[in-house]
Structure 1
Amino acid sequence: MHHPFQASRHKRALFVLCAAIVLAAFGFYAYKLSEKSANTINPIDSGFARSMLLHHAQAIQMSMMMRGAASPEIQALAQSIIMKQTREMGVMEGWLTAWNEPVMVDGPPMAWVENATNVRHLDDQLYQAQCKADGGAMAGVATPEQLEQLKNASGIEKEVLFLELMLAHHRAAIPMAWFANRNGETSLVKALASAMIRDQGMEIGWIQLKLQQLKKS
C-alpha cells in the first residue's frame, strides 16, 4: 500500500475541514430532498448517526497519532481512515441537522440499540442483548490509558498497538452498521451503513495480514 497523500499537513488538514463542511451540507440537503419528514425519524436512524459520529471521532484521533510515526503503508491506512471517516462524519452530522436532532450523544451511546423493537435478525438480537449486558456502553473503543500508550509508543510497538486498537474498533463498528442497515428506515442511512460494512471489512482483512507480518519480524 503506497502513501497517496504528498501535500503538506496544513493543506491536508484544510482539505479535511472543507470536506467535512461540504459533506455536512450535502447530508443536510440530500435528506431534505428525500421522502421523509423530520417528524417521522426512526430512532435507530438518528441513534446510529450520533453513535457512529462518536465512534468515528476516536478512529480519526488514533489515526492522527500515526502521522510521521509509522511505515508508509500504515500511514497510508491511517490517512485513508481520516479522509473517509471525516467525510462520513460530515454526512451524518448533516442528517442530524436536517432532522433537528442533537449531534452529541446524551446518555448511554448504544441506548438506541437497547430500546429497539421488532428486531428480527438473529445477529441483531444477539447484538442487542450484548448492548444491554454492557449497559449501553460502546464496544471497541480504546480506553484513555490505551490512547496514552499509543501516543507515547514508537516504532513497531506503536504500529502493532495502532493496528490492534483499530482492529477492535472496526470489529465493533460492523455489527452496529448491520443493525442500522437491517432495522433502520431511511434509505440514505442504510446505504451509508452498507458502505461502512464493506470498507471496514476490507480494512480488517488488511490489518490482520499486516499484524501477522509485524509479529513475525
Structure 2
Amino acid sequence: MGFLRLGSIAPDFEADTTEGPIRFHEWAGDSWVMLFSHPGDFTPVCTTELADVSQRLPEFVKRNVKVIGISADAIQTHYEWIEDIIEIGNKTAPTCVEYPLIGDGDRKISLLYDMLDQQDTTNVDEDGLPYTIRTVFLIDPKKIIRTLLQYPAAVGRNFDEVIRVIDALQLSDKHPIVTPSNWLPGRDVIVHPKVSDEDAKKIFPDIHAEPKVPYLRMTHVE
C-alpha cells in the first residue's frame, strides 16, 4: 500500500489484544480513535506513557475517543507489563489499564501503518527486527487519519498536546474555524479563510480583526 498521509483512510486489520481479538474498524465504531505505538514491552519510557494515558482515560472518553496501544511483543508479555504500568502509575494517581494493547510480534500492523524505525540501528530486537517508533494516529469516526505524530525512541510523548489537538480538530469540525498558535480551549479562534467577510459576520456576531491585518479575523466559539 502507499504511504499513509493526513486524509488517508486508516487501514482495517484484525489483531489479538489484551481485551480479546478485534477487527479495527468494527471496534472503533462511531468513535474517534487514538492509536499509539510503543517500541517494546518493559521499555521505561513506554511504561510512563501508558500509565499517563491510563490516568487520563476519562478525558479521552469525554471526547468520544477510544484509546488503543500497540507494542511489538506478544500478548502474554503485555499482561505482565501491565502490572508494571499499574505499579508505576499508582505512585502518582490511581491507575488501571482499561484500554486494549495490540500484540504485534510479527510487525504486520506496524508495517501496515508504517511505524517501523528504519534509521536508528539500536532500536531493534534480538533478531534484528526493527521496533516501532513512537507514533500517534488520531482517527475520526469516518476512519480518516486526521493527525499523525512521530517521536524518536528516546523522546516521550506529551499527551497534553495530543488532547489539545483533539479539542482543536473537534472544534474545527463543528465550526468553520482554525486555531492559532498555542491555542487552548476557551481562547479565541480564527475564522476560516474560505468564509467570506459577509458570511463571517452572520455566523460570528463578535468577529473582530486587526486593522492592519484584516485577514486575521478572530472570534469565540464553544
How high is the TM-score relative to the length of structure 2?
A: 0.28
Which has a greater percent of strand? 2
How high is the TM-score relative to the length of structure 1?
A: 0.28
Higher RCO by CA contacts (8 Å cutoff, separation 6 or greater): 1
> Which has the higher Rg, Structure 1 or Structure 2?
2
